[in-house]
Amino acid sequence: MKPKITTINIFPRKLTLNDFDESNFQQTFDKRISDVSFQRIFDFIEKSNSSDLQISDQVAFLNLLIWLQRANPKSVYISTKEIMRHLNSTREKPMNEEYFRSKIIGNLRDKGILISSSNTGYKIPTSKRDLESFLKHGNRVILPMLNRIKQARNAIKLATLNELDILEDEKYKELKNLLE
C-alpha cells in the first residue's frame, strides 16, 4: 500500500499538531520549529480548495510529507525518487523532477512553507538541525553563484573601463545590493 499512497488525512484520524509532540520523537526536537512548520502546512492545505493541478500537486506533496513524517523515523529525509513515485501513482502524465523542484518545492517555499532538504531528500523541519540542513544546501549553491556573478561583473567592468555594469538594470537592484 505504501507506494500507492499519496494522501492520507483521515486514516486513522485527522492529523493535528499534537501528533508531532516531543514525546513522539527520538531525536533533537524543537517544538517551536515543529509548530510553525506544521501550522503553515495545515493552513495552506486548508485554504487550498483549487482544482488547479499545480495546487493539487502541492497539497498531495504536503500530505505525503506529513504521512511519511509520522510513519518514519523523524530524522529520515524522503528521497525525490520515492516522492515522485508516490505523486505519480495517481497522475495520467507523470511529472518530471524539474516541475517537482520548481513548481512544487520552490513555489511552496515562496509561499512560506518550511521544507527542509538535503542531498538525501526532503522532510518537514522539526529541529534546528533540519533547518541547518536546508541552509547548508543553499549555502553550497547560492554563495558560489554570487561569486560567479561578481567575477563576471568585474571582468566586464574592467574590460569596458567601468562604462558597463551588467547589474545596472533596475531588475538587478537587489542582486547588485547583495554584491556591494
Alpha carbons within 13 A on the beta-carbon side of 65: 29
Q: In this predicted structure, which of 53-57, 130-134, 164-168 has the lowest mean pLDDT?
A: 130-134
Q: Is the pLDDT of residue 13 over 60?
A: no
Positive or negative torsion for Cα 37, 43, 48, 49? positive
Domain ranges in the chain are 2-126, 137-179
- Give backbone dihedrals phi and psi of 78, rounded to 5 degrees, phi first: -95, 125
Distance CA 137, CA 169 (A): 29
Query: pLDDT band at residue 118, thresholds of 50, 70 and 90?
Result: confident
Instruction: For residue 109, give every residue at least 6 positions away whose Cβ sits within 8 Å of its Cβ, in sequence order, or none.
Output: 115
Q: What is the pLDDT of residues 50-92, one digit of tens each?
A: 788 899 999 999 999 999 888 776 678 899 999 999 999 988 8
| Three-class DSSP category at 1 | coil
